[in-house]
Structure 1
Amino acid sequence: MNVLKLSAVLATAALLSACGGNEAKVCGSDDVKNQLVKIFLSGALSAQSDALSKAELKDVAIIDKDPDSGVLECVGTLTVPVVGQVASGTLKYQIAPAAKSEHDYLLLLADGPLANAFAKRIQGMVPQQQ
């Protein structure tokens, strides 16, 4: 059932991104990726900074755009190399144009359940030290 929901979200996002032009690229920018990675580094994956520094954000699309604020709701796949394997997880997140900041867009919100599931997947791939 979740696969069907996710497929519907991705299909909708692909259609909206086709109309979004350059805005869809913003959802997958290095700046946004680095902000997403910081979420994982501040939690249980803080010891995995080497792997997370090599993360890639792919297959990004805009799901929705607030016409008043310019806030974009995005979906993308974060791929992280972990101990000779690759972990991939779909993330939903919101970004907003930043007026006075070191960032072009600021990460406002990342879907907690998707982010937590992805973090657990990465943790499960890392050998536990005794």
Structure 2
Amino acid sequence: MTRDTIYRDILLEHARHPKNSGRLENPGLSASVHNPLCGDELELTLALSGELIQDCRTIVRGCSICQASASIMSEMIIKKTLKEAIITGRLFDESLRKDNEDVPEMVEPLRPFLALKAHRSRIKCMKLAWDALEECANQDKSPNYT
């Protein structure tokens, strides 16, 4: 099995069987984002305990790449602080802009997406869930995430 085949299988598994799908009843933070290039829509709801993300749910109406990214992100950010989650998203964004496939350990679960970064039109699909997370952080009145 090639590396690209393994990555494709990981992404397809998350797209077909997304983790943490749905909407939280009383979220502490929520955001809805839209990708005008392809029509993807995503809603993110977060439950916080202090700075810690206790739970996360996403509703995705979009392509399999967007669905897989939201699923993987949701697994990665639960039990992290909002600040740690934001840093992870920003490191992912930086990794997508680099010419090589080196990634910090913090974003290793997102490595399968790097095989797709040559398809520039799909980068927004990969980042949409992370954009929603940034919007949630912008609503949070506690710390500064910039």
Q: Higher strand fraction: Structure 1 or Structure 2?
A: 1
TM range (shorter): 0.3 to 0.5
Greater Rg by CA: 1
TM-score (structure 1 length as normaliser): 0.35
Relative contact order higher in (CA < 8 Å, ≥ 6 apart): 2
- Length-normalised TM-score, structure 2: 0.32
